Amino acid sequence: MTFRRIHIFYISLLCLSVLTNLIVRNEFKANKLARGPASVNYKMVGNLEKIHLGENKDLEYFAKMDSGAESSSLHAKNISTFHRIENDKAVLYVEFDTVDEHQNPQRLIRPVVKIDEIKSSLGRHKRYFIQEKIWIGEHSYFVNVNLTDRSHLKRKFLIGKNVLDQGYIIDTSSIMLASPQ
């Protein structure tokens, strides 16, 4: 009698397992059919894109797309900070030098929106973030951009996840898919 109960128990488990597998498989197929291809909902960018900064597209960069970087990064040297009184509050500003893709030097002044302390093999240092309008093709975004010395790097601007999460997919085998040629 005990053998029969164990046998019925195992057959019940087997049937339950088969039913669960069928239900899960059908739900997976339904979800798979409901989704469209990524290219329908997303904008494609190349590994490198021509981008512009500023309300009037004042600066132009040939930026590297980096899906591993949390935030976008702009080349900045001679960084100094100061306070301005705005609406009876002291607001921290940063003044810095940068160069665009055509090596045009610019001295910019922007309010600081965030300060992070970065730890690296060289030690700890502060990194200032500004909010900047970035243009990729005809699409523009206000994003936080960190300021760092990128003079040792070929690209003076790096696009991170804070921009790429706006609906972009990177085609690493191409360049300038979103930029007007």
| Residue 156 and residue 86 share a domain | yes
Q: In this structure, what DSSP letter does residue 137 have?
A: T
Whole-angstrom Cα distance, residue 73 to residue 143? 11
Residue 176 belongs to some domain of the structure: no
CB 134 within 8 A of CB 53: yes
Average pLDDT, the chain: 83
How many angstroms separate the CA atoms of 47 and 8, rounded?
A: 60
Q: How confident is the model at residue 23 (pLDDT cuts 50, 70, 90)?
A: low
Question: What predicted TM-score, i.e. pTM, was given to this entire model?
Answer: 0.72
Q: pLDDT (tens digit, 9 = 90+) per residue, 93-141?
A: 999 999 998 889 999 999 999 999 877 666 788 899 999 999 998 899 9
Supply the CATH number for residue 72's domain.
2.40.70.10
Structural domain contains residue 152: yes
Query: Please, where are the H alpha helices in 35-118?
Result: 38-41
pLDDT at 34 over 50: no
Q: How far apart are CA 18 and CA 169, in angstroms?
A: 38
Q: What is the DSSP string of 96-139?
A: EEEE-TT--EEEEEEEEEEEEEEEETTEEEEEEEEEEEEEETTE
Rounded to 5 degrees, what are φ and ψ at 172?
A: -70, -15
Domain that holds residue 55: 41-171
